[in-house]
Structure 1
Amino acid sequence: MKKILIGLLVILIVIGGVVIYGASQSGTLIREAVLDYAPPATGAKVSLDKVDVAILGGSAGISNLTVGNPKGFKSDYAFKVANMAVKIDMASLTGEVIRIKEIRIDGADLIYELGTRGNNISKIQKNIEKYTQSLGLAASESESEAKFIVDNIYITGTRVKLATDLLGGKGAGLTLPDIHLKNIGTEDKAATAGEVGSAIFGAVNKGLSKVITKDMLNNTLKGVKKKLGNIFK
């Protein structure tokens, strides 16, 4: 499950980063940037209904973002996010530390598809890593790396589905408990993007451990075995 969460986090950071750093631009320009940048980065089709920006209020949000699957996977998509919103202290954008008042990720749907070529989330993650490296954008821990203080992160209404390509992208589903993280980074020690990601990962991983059961995993595997049995009859 670690690979699932890291992959999802990387994807959200890539797309969310465009929204955060483009908060001073119009919603149309940010939407175009996401649709131009995300497909080659993820190696999958990406659709996005709209981006709303309130410059004076220091907020930006995306509605109905869908990231498809790389070639070889059969589920309808890798993940969908109904709403993702960011509130920023605009004055901090000119300083050394960016203060994010709030991040909300609501109504996300993730399909983790395990297939003969590995899993879809890890594949997208690798695609993003290759793309950023090709542009010289690989993350580093240098002094020039952006630092953050995040007051609140809310992750609500997240649904996770375990699937396999041998079952045509079908599988079992579960709901992740809502998550609220507070005070990531301080004035004395601001957080890197990696540290913010680690905090999110730890919380999501803890939530998944509460809802994923051995029976669910066993049922998925039984479905695969049954499918294989039918193939060789």
Structure 2
Amino acid sequence: MNKAIKYVIGILGLAIIIVLVVMVRLNTIVKTGIEEIGSEMTGTAVTVDRVFISPFSGKGRVRGFRIANPEGYDHAYAFQVDNFSIELEIRSVFSNEVMVNEIVITTPAIIMEQKLIDNNINSILGNIRSVSAGESTDKRLIIEHFLLTDGSVDMYMDINRERSVHAEIATIELNDLGRGGGQEAVEDIIQRIAERLAREALQVASQRGGDEILDTLRDLID
């Protein structure tokens, strides 16, 4: 093996090491960011099993995304999705303005536990609003396209702890988040998405669950 070949092999080896380091660092930054900011805003544990994003295209997947229920509720999670796709501008991850080209979430599952005067979804949303109204971080976020499809909501009544409603959620599509009238903090964007999702879930659960709830109440009274 001559010196030229050794040199080429050395360069290729170094390039591979650099790519691997960037991948590990990139995936760790995204995973940590989702979990830390999400947990702070929801007031519960937000966890991710794994993040994989290509350092070349910025495309990747987030696997095992879950939002835990607040204390006092039976189910472990209020929201979970096996995996969703994401595409972002790699350089922006290391800056104060993160540019996300697209997020596509399919078949997310929402579990709503309805107590007499409140439910877990409203509790989480209330915490998000409270954090968003406070002092925001320096991080800014732009999401050019957000799409959520084939979602479902299961509602459980506190009076019998059995599922009263299973319903499909309408497709949610949002564009140019963070571009309306200047830069928006990460907290503001999360609040806008959470409010839209919560509104859809609460609306469909109340519409589909009216008769079932009345029947349950009658059964308990009889």
Shorter-chain TM-score: which interval? 0.5 to 0.7
Task: Tell me, in whole angstroms, the C-alpha distance in 2 between the residues paired with 1:58 and 1:32.
Answer: 17
> Conserved in 1, the CA contact under 8 Å of 2:103 and 2:145?
yes
Matches of residues 11-30 of structure 1 in structure 2 within 5 Å? Answer: 25=25, 27=27
Give me the TM-score of the superposition, normalised by structure 2: 0.65
> Conserved in 2, the CA contact under 8 Å of 1:43 and 1:124?
yes
Query: Which of residues 203, 209, 223 in structure 1 aligns to 2:216?
Result: 223
Q: How many percent of aligned residue pairs carry the same amino acid?
A: 19
Q: How far is the alpha carbon of 1:91 from its aligned partner? A: 2.5
Give me the TM-score of the superposition, normalised by structure 1: 0.62
The answer as to 2:85 corresponding to 1:89 is: no
Matches of residues 1-233 of structure 1 in structure 2 within 5 Å? Answer: 25=25, 27=27, 48-75=48-75, 77-116=77-116, 118-125=118-125, 139-140=134-135, 145-186=138-179, 189-197=182-190, 199-200=192-193, 203-204=196-197, 211=204, 214=207, 216-227=209-220, 229=221
> Conserved in 2, the CA contact under 8 Å of 1:162 and 1:220?
no
> Conserved in 2, the CA contact under 8 Å of 1:163 and 1:220?
no
Please state whether the residue corresponding to 1:112 is helix, strand or coil: strand
> Conserved in 2, the CA contact under 8 Å of 1:164 and 1:224?
no
> Conserved in 2, the CA contact under 8 Å of 1:23 and 1:59?
no
Gaps of 5+ in 2: 1-21
Please state whether the residue corresponding to 1:190 is helix, strand or coil: coil
How many corresponding residue pairs? Answer: 201
Please state whether the residue corresponding to 1:99 is helix, strand or coil: strand
Gaps of 5+ in 1: 1-21
Does the C-alpha gap of structure 1 residues 27 and 193 become closer, same or farther in structure 2, counting only changes over 3 Å? closer
Does the C-alpha gap of structure 1 residues 194 and 218 become closer, same or farther in structure 2, counting only changes over 3 Å? farther
Amino acid at match of 2:54: A
Q: How far is the alpha carbon of 1:158 from its aligned partner? A: 1.0
Task: Tell me, in whole angstroms, the C-alpha distance in 2 between the residues paired with 1:187 and 1:41.
Answer: 22
Amino acid at match of 1:161: D
Larger radius of gyration: 2
Amino acid at match of 1:178: T
Answer 1 or 2: higher relative contact order, Cα 8 Å, separation at least 6: 1
Task: Tell me, in whole angstroms, the C-alpha distance in 2 between the residues paired with 1:187 and 1:161.
Answer: 34
> Conserved in 2, the CA contact under 8 Å of 1:97 and 1:146?
yes
Does the C-alpha gap of structure 1 residues 156 and 187 become closer, same or farther in structure 2, counting only changes over 3 Å? closer
Amino acid at match of 1:86: I
> Conserved in 2, the CA contact under 8 Å of 1:150 and 1:184?
yes
